[in-house]
Amino acid sequence: MSKEEIPTGTTAASGLRPLLIGPSSGPEHPYPYRMSGPVISGFGRGSKELGIPTANLPVDNSLTPWISSIPSGVYFGWASLLLPPSHPNYSPASNTSWSMFPMVMSIGYNPFYKNDTRSAEVHVLHEFQADFYGTDMRLLIMGYIRDEKDYKGLDDLVEDITFDCRVARQSLSRPGWRVKELGDGGQFEGGWLVEQEEEKASL
């Protein structure tokens, strides 16, 4: 079997890194994982000033039992936001109230900052004109990029995160990884991202 050539790039702290994750056919077991919840306040470290704002989600073992057992690290996939009509970026896909975007995220303890609680934070690969705290977010986590690392300085951390963003964009642009619901040739079944919430059974 001939090996496919995988494009690479380099960063100062991590050297040679692959730009594509997984086979072109699409994500493999156990992916995708689903996660959802309201966007909450994070550590308030000014990630936004670094150009890498992260929308934090509650880490709740009862809602997402798998979260305690998956390795800490950097993941990528799709984020769906239920933005209110008053938000400047309100522009849902057709037949739904949700808007979909590619994303990169970190799950873990941020060794560079030595957190003592496990966080899940998502950098949405889209430029927003306003914050969206409190908005419901759904995630389809499609794959794993790398382990979380400690860094000598903030510049190295930011360079690796910027590279993660390139990996996510390139990996998700393949038809087997792009969600059908975007309507532009994607083949991956992402219906859950845009489903209306089931009517709550009345008690």
Q: Where do the DSSP E strands lie in the chain?
A: 8-11, 15-18, 33-38, 55-57, 73-81, 99-108, 119-124, 136-146
Q: How far apart are CA 127 and CA 182, in angstroms?
A: 18
Q: Which is nearer to ligand RBF, 147 or 195 (CB)?
A: 147
Residue 142 found at the interface with ligand RBF (CB under 6 A)? no
Region 35-54 residues binding Mg ion, contact defined as CB under 5 A: 42, 54
Q: Between 53 and 92, name the residue whose CB sits nearer to ligand RBF.
A: 53
DSSP letter at 170?
H
Check residue 159 for interaction with ligand RBF (CB under 6 A).
Answer: no
| Residue bearing tokens 């030595």 | 114
Segment near ligand RBF (CB under 6 A); pick from 55-63, 78-86, 103-111, 127-135: 103-111
Q: Are 81 and 101 in contact (CB under 8 A)?
A: yes
Q: Are the beta carbons of 93 and 84 closer than 8 angstroms? A: no
Considering only 18, 22, 53, 176, the residue that binds ligand ADP (CB under 6 A) is 53
Q: Is 121 near ligand RBF (CB under 6 A)?
A: yes
Question: By CB under 6 A, which span of 22-30, 129-137, 169-177, 186-194 interacts with ligand ADP?
Answer: 129-137
Tokens of 37: 């919840």
Catalytic, 121? Answer yes
Rounded to whole angstroms, the Cα distance separating 82 from 92 reads 8
Provide, rounded to whole angstroms, the least separation between the CB of residue 43 and ligand ADP.
5
Q: Site residues (CB under 5 A) for Mg ion? A: 42, 54, 56, 121
Question: Which of the residues are catalytic?
Answer: 121
